[in-house]
Amino acid sequence: MTRDLVGYILRLEVASMKILITAFEPFHNETINPALEILKVLPDQILNQKIIKLEIPTVRYSSVEKIIHIIEKHHPDVIVSLGQAGGRADITFERIGINIDDYGIEDNAHNMPVDEKIVTDGPDAYFVNLPIKEMVHALREAGIAASVSNSAGTFVCNHVTYAIRHYNEVHQTGIRSGFIHVPYLEQQVRDKPMMPAMALDTMVHGIELAIETIIKKGNDYVS
C-alpha cells in the first residue's frame, strides 16, 4: 500500500469525526460565563470535522441529562466540556473526575449537596481519556498559558466530568470525554482586585488548538 493511499484512508477515517463541545450557563451572581462565550464563537467545523455545540445548565443532574440526550441523538466521537474556574490564571485540562458532589455554593437550581456520591455504586474516580498533555503542549507552543489540573473541584464541572465518563463506560459507547477549565474574562474581574483573567480571543484560540490536537491524534490516542 502506497504512502499516498495510506494518507487518503486516514483522512477518510478522520472525516467521520464528530466532536460535542458543551459549556455552562452563567452561575453564582455572574452575568456571563467565559465557557459559554467561547462556545458561541467556535466554528461549526475545525479541520473539516463537525463541531456540535451545546449550552448546558449549571445544575448537577440536568446538565448530564442534556448531554446524554445529545449523545443519543448525534453519537459524537468525542465530548469536550468547558467550564469557568475563577481564580485560575491559565487554561487547565482536567485529569480526573471524582464521585462526589460537595458544593460550597448553590447550583442554579439551588442544590447544595454535601458529601453526596454522584453515582451510588460507581467507582471513586475516572481518568479522562483525552490527550491532555498533548493539548497543553499545543497551547504552550502558541504562547497560551496552559497546564494539567489534578482536581476539577466538587461542583457541577466535576459532576459532568465524572458522570459522562461513567455513562460512556457503562454503555460502552467508545466516546472519549474530558473537561477544560478556563479563567475569568477580563470584564469579570473589574470588581475583583488581583484576580487573574484572560482575553476571550486567547481562550477561543486555545480551545481551537485543543480540539485540533484531538482531531490530529484521532484513534492513535489510547487512554
Q: What is the Cα–Cα distance from 140 to 181, expressed in whole angstroms?
A: 16
* Residue appearing with cell numbers 474581574: 189
Identity of residue 150: N
Kindly name the residue from 157, 159, 166, 208 that is annotated as catalytic.
157
Identified catalytic residue from 37, 159, 181, 208: 181
What are the CA-CA distances from residue 9 to residues 2, 17, 19, 21, 80 (Å)?
11, 14, 20, 26, 26
Please tell me the distance from the alpha carbon of residue 140 to that of residue 24, in angstroms, as a whole number.
25
Q: What whole-number distance in Å separates Cα of residue 186 and Cα of residue 29?
A: 16
Does the annotation count 157 as an active-site position? yes
Strand partners, 180: 82, 93
Q: Which of 37, 94, 159, 166 is an active site residue?
A: 94
- Is-contact 50 14, C-beta < 8 A? no
> Grid coordinates in use for 5?
493511499
Q: Is 94 a catalytic residue?
A: yes
Active site residues: 94, 157, 181
